[in-house]
Amino acid sequence: MTPRAAAAVYGLLAFIVVLSGLVSSARYEDEYVGVIRRQLQAATALKAEGLQRWRQERVSDITALIQNPVFQAEANGLAAGRTDSRAALRAWLGNYLRYQAYDRVELRDGAGRLLIACARPGAEPWDDAAALAAAATVEPALQDLHKHASGSVFMASSAAVAGGKRRCAVLLRMPADAFIYPYLHEWPAASRTAETLLVRREGDKVRFISGLRFGVGPAFQTRALAAAPDMPAARAALGHSGPIDGVDYRGHPVLAHTLQIPGSPWALVARVDKDEAYAPIRARRMGMAALIGALLLAGGAVLAWIRRLQAVALYRERLMGAEALRASEAKLRIRNAELQRIAYTISHDLKSPLVTVLTFVGFVRDDIANGNEERVRQDLDFISQGATRMSALLDALLHFTRVGALAPGAEPVSYAALIAEVVGALAGRIHDSGVDIRVAPADFTLYGDRVRLGEIWQNLIENSIKYMGERPDPTVWIEVEGSGPEARFSVRDNGIGVEPKLQQKVFDLFQKLDPATEGTGVGLAVVKRLVESYGGSAAFASQGAGLGAEVAFTLPLAWTTERAVDTPPDDQGAKRTS
């Protein structure tokens, strides 16, 4: 691939990735904002229904009282001057304090003079103007929420008692703190800025009936309508119902929904700060940007790696003679085959978890639209599993591509000490599995990278333990036959074995006999690559299922201190840690 072709491929890849990310982010933003707006709409509808029911209950309370013939007789008797009715009426009216949230109940004559009063301890006296206005009503009616001289907010219901020669009226008063304020301040989910406001219009002003969550000014305050045309509360006071994007009483941008409450001068506003509402969107954008950046870096790394392989092949081709050229061509074919296998792995094995993620992203959108929170959580679990699987496969693939780089020199490594070190590192797993590790006595010196040499036996022992199955005497034999470049090393077990038709694939990337086992299936592929980096070969043998397995290999280059570089090391140096 020429530099121009590589740049073109990378540019196309970058364009597709960025465009896909932008489209996905835009769709997510539209869907998420839609969810927030539906939540606000549901909140206003629920609150409005509760407030209507509460108002109807207040009217029902006083209607039931004045329509009771016994109460009518007692009340009219007191209004006519009979004092024997006072005790019975006081007990009767006192029940409204005992069993309901009223704080003051009064009976007044037609001129507004107090005949009898029952009040909770500490209850504020009735404002004369409010009492006279309530006493003047005939039919059961609600006196709208008003602010007392003490600063408390009350709502009263009143009605005239029929049937008497002298007119009298009943007044029931309830503080806003008894129901309305706590009810409005409730929010169905934890939120830093969400709020429900109850407002009404008073001339050219809007009255905030409910207390403000963010105390800005006195309670029960008013704002001029003309001074805040973009404020959702002002729009609601002017009769608007529906979604609004505006600026609240603090001057903060908000998403809001307004609703008029039928049969009342009230309007509801449910609002939340845009900063809070858009926080998940911003997080999604950052995550998408990170993902796009990672994909672009990965794409660039793959192209750079391909270019590097091509440069190495070209360099060797120019320096070597005819015979060396043929050997180089053979090695290049091997590398190209390996590259094709890796490319197939990327397009096949990595595509599976990606398809899972993309599929359940679609399900998440559908389930969010349908309001199915349980399915959303299940979908997110599957997405997390797919992403975790892809991350493990990518890590394993990266590790596979890094093994096999040998430094020009080599350190002496005792074979016996190396095997003891590997077995010691796996002691916990060996103990848990109950496997008996039998090491044939032998000691000599190998030359190479101690970590990489140990990784060969470590992967083979771990693989034997993993596929041991249920054996009464699980055993792994570690042996060596001969010495020098022709020495044959082997790791043998009495595990579940492998059927003949599957044995040719055991050294391929991501091949696992049992998909349910842990790991990614690169252990034997790493072993083969490491063995080949020491000029050797690896072979797998098994008599069949249930008859155990053996991996035998040679390490010709591990018997000399002179070493040719197989693949140039990266910036981290020739020696790696597994």
Residue 122 predicted with pLDDT over 60: yes
Residue 249 predicted with pLDDT over 90: no
Whether the CA torsion 410, 411, 417, 422 is positive or negative: it is negative
Which of 500, 474, 477 has its CA nearest to residue 552?
477
Residue 550 predicted with pLDDT over 50: yes
247 and 224 belong to one structural domain:
yes
Domain termination residue (choose one: 246, 277, 308): 277
Name the band, by pLDDT with cuts 50, 70 and 90, for residue 407: very low
Q: Say what percent of the chain tops pLDDT 70.
A: 81
Strands 242-247 and 266-273: unpaired
Name the band, by pLDDT with cuts 50, 70 and 90, for residue 568: very low
The confidence score (pLDDT) of residue 356 equals: 64
Dist CA 88 CA 127 (whole Å):
26
> Is residue 190, in this structure, part of any structural domain at all?
yes
555 and 447 belong to one structural domain:
yes
Q: What is the pLDDT of residues 337-355, one digit of tens each?
A: 565 555 555 554 555 566 5
Residue 497 predicted with pLDDT over 90: no
CB 204 within 8 A of CB 167: no
Q: Is 469 exposed, middle or buried (0-12, 13-18, 19+ CB in 10 A)?
A: middle
Dist CA 144 CA 461 (whole Å):
83
Domain termination residue (choose one: 277, 307, 328): 277
Amino acid in the structure at residue 85: S
The confidence score (pLDDT) of residue 353 equals: 62
Lowest-pLDDT range, 18-32, 57-71, 188-202? 18-32
Mean pLDDT of 120-132: 84
CB 119 within 8 A of CB 104: yes
Amino acid in the structure at residue 343: A
Mean pLDDT of 374-395: 66
> Is residue 291, in this structure, part of any structural domain at all?
no
Q: Mean pLDDT over all residues of the chain?
A: 80
Which of 158, 117, 165 has its CA nearest to residue 140?
158
The confidence score (pLDDT) of residue 575 equals: 37
91 and 140 belong to one structural domain:
yes
150 and 203 belong to one structural domain:
no
Residue 491 predicted with pLDDT over 90: yes
What values do phi and psi take at 138, rounded to 5?
-110, -60
Which of 95, 80, 173, 162 has its CA nearest to residue 134?
173
Number of structural domains (the chain) is: 4
210 and 77 belong to one structural domain:
no
Mean pLDDT of 482-511: 80
CB 197 within 8 A of CB 269: yes
CB-based contacts of 437: which residues, under 8 Å, 6+ apart? 423, 430, 461, 475, 476, 478
Mean pLDDT of 202-215: 85
The stretches of 403-426 forming alpha helices (DSSP H) are: 415-425
pTM metric for this prediction: 0.48
> Is residue 25, in this structure, part of any structural domain at all?
no
Residue 477 predicted with pLDDT over 90: yes
What values do phi and psi take at 173, rounded to 5?
-120, 135
144 and 208 belong to one structural domain:
no
476 and 543 belong to one structural domain:
yes
CB-based contacts of 468: which residues, under 8 Å, 6+ apart? 433, 435, 474, 493, 494, 495, 496
Dist CA 340 CA 329 (whole Å):
16
State CA 146 to chain mean position distance: 45
Dist CA 180 CA 176 (whole Å):
5
**What is the residue range of 146's domain?**
67-174
185 and 164 belong to one structural domain:
no
* Percentage helix, strand, coil for the chain under 3-state DSSP, each rounded to 5: 50, 20, 30
The confidence score (pLDDT) of residue 88 equals: 87
Lowest-pLDDT range, 27-31, 224-228, 309-313, 502-506? 502-506
Mean pLDDT of 203-228: 81
CB 129 within 8 A of CB 153: no
Lowest-pLDDT range, 7-16, 275-284, 431-440? 7-16
DSSP 331-342: HHHHHHHHHHHH
Q: What is the pLDDT of residues 250-296, one digit of tens each?
A: 889 999 999 999 988 999 999 999 888 888 888 877 887 888 888 87
The confidence score (pLDDT) of residue 577 equals: 32
CB 542 within 8 A of CB 498: yes
CB-based contacts of 209: which residues, under 8 Å, 6+ apart? 145, 153, 176, 180, 198, 199, 200, 220, 266
> Is residue 28, in this structure, part of any structural domain at all?
no
Q: Say what percent of the chain tops pLDDT 90.
A: 21
Dist CA 211 CA 199 (whole Å):
10
Max CA-CA distance within the chain?
A: 133
429 and 469 belong to one structural domain:
yes
Lowest-pLDDT range, 206-220, 456-470, 513-527? 513-527
